[in-house]
A and B are shown apart, each in its own frame.
Chain A
Amino acid sequence: MNLNEIKRYSRQLILPDFGTKEQSRLKKAKVAVTGAGGLGCPVSTYLTLAGVGEIHIFDFDRIEMSNLNRQFLYTPEDVGKPKAEMAAKRLSEINPEIKIEGINEKVTYDNAFELLKGYDAIVDGTDNFAVRYAVNDAAVVNRVPLFHGAALMYEGRAMSIIPGETACFRCVFPEPPPAGMIPTCREAGILGSVVGIVGAIQASEAIRYLAGLEIGLKNQLLIINVDEMRFEKVRVAKRDDCTACGEHFIPKPVEDVCTVLPGSEASGVTEGDE
Chain B
Amino acid sequence: METLDLRGEKCPDTFVYTKIKAEEIGYSGGGKLKVIVDYPPAVESIPRSLAQEGKGYKVLEVKQVAERTYEIYIEIPAFED
B20 & A20 in contact (Cβ 8 Å cutoff)? yes
Does A1 sit within 8 A of B, measured CB to CB? Answer: yes
For residue B16, which residue of chain A has the nearest CB? A10
Report whether B23 and A21 are in contact in the complex, using a CB–CB cutoff of 8 Å.
yes
B interface residues, tally (CB under 8 Å) = 15
Q: Mark A1-42, 1 if CB is under 8 A from B, else 0.
A: 100001000110110110111000000000000000000000
Closest 6 CB pairs of A and B: A10-B16, A20-B23, A16-B52, A19-B23, A16-B53, A14-B15
- Tell whether, in the assembled complex, residue A1 and residue B54 are in contact, meaning their CB atoms are under 8 Å apart: no
Asked if B19 contacts A19 (CB within 8 A), the reply is yes
User: A1 contacts B23, CB within 8 Å?
Assistant: no
Given A14, A17, A20, which contacts B49 in the complex, CB threshold below 8 Å? A14
Q: Is the interface of A mostly helix, strand, loop or mixed?
A: helix
Residues of chain A contacted by B40 (CB below 8 angstroms): none
Q: How far is the CA of A20 from the CA of B54 in the complex (A)?
A: 15
Q: How far is the CB of B21 from chain A (nearest CB, A)?
A: 10
Q: Residue B12 at the A interface, CB < 8 A? A: yes
Question: Which residues on the B side are within 8 Å of A13 (C-beta)?
Answer: 16, 19-20
Q: Smallest distance from the beta carbon of A212 to chain B beta carbons, Å?
A: 9
- Across the two chains, which residue of chain B brings its CB closest to A20? B23
In the complex, the chain A residue whose C-beta lies closest to that of B11 is: A14
21 A-B contacts, Cβ less than 8 Å apart? Answer: A1-B20, A6-B16, A6-B17, A6-B20, A10-B12, A10-B13, A10-B16, A11-B12, A13-B19, A13-B20, A14-B12, A14-B16, A14-B19, A16-B54, A17-B54, A19-B20, A19-B23, A20-B19, A20-B23, A20-B27, A21-B27
Total A-B contacts with CB atoms under 8 angstroms apart: 32
Q: Does B2 lie at the interface of the complex (its beta carbon under 8 Å from any beta carbon of A)?
A: no
Q: How far is the CB of A15 from chain B (nearest CB, A)?
A: 10
User: Which residues of chain B (31-49) have a CB below 8 Å from chain A?
Assistant: 49
Q: Which residue of A lies closest to B54 (CB)?
A: A16
User: What separation, in Å, do the CA atoms of A11 and B19 have in the docked complex?
Assistant: 12
Q: A14-B15, A19-B20, A20-B27 are in contact. List 17 more A-B contacts (CB 8 A).
A: A1-B20, A6-B17, A10-B12, A10-B13, A10-B16, A13-B19, A13-B20, A14-B12, A14-B19, A16-B52, A16-B54, A17-B54, A19-B19, A20-B23, A20-B24, A21-B27, A21-B81
Kindly list chain B residues whose C-beta atoms are within 8 Å of the C-beta of A6.
Answer: 16-17, 20
Contacts of B24 in A (CB 8 A): 20
- Please give, as numbers and ranges, the residues of chain A lying within 8 Å of B27 by CB-CB distance: 20-21
In the assembled complex, which residues on chain A have CB atoms less than 8 Å from the CB atom of B52?
16
B16 to chain A, nearest CB (A): 4
In this complex, what residue of B is CB-closest to A19?
B23
B17: chain A residues at CB < 8 Å are: 6
> Which B residues are CB-close (under 8 A) to A17?
54
Closest CB in chain A relative to B32 CB, distance in Å? 19
Residues of chain B within 8 A of A10, CB atoms compared = 12-13, 16
A6–B12 alpha-carbon span in the complex (Å): 12
Give chain A interface residues in 120-157, CB to chain B under 8 Å: none
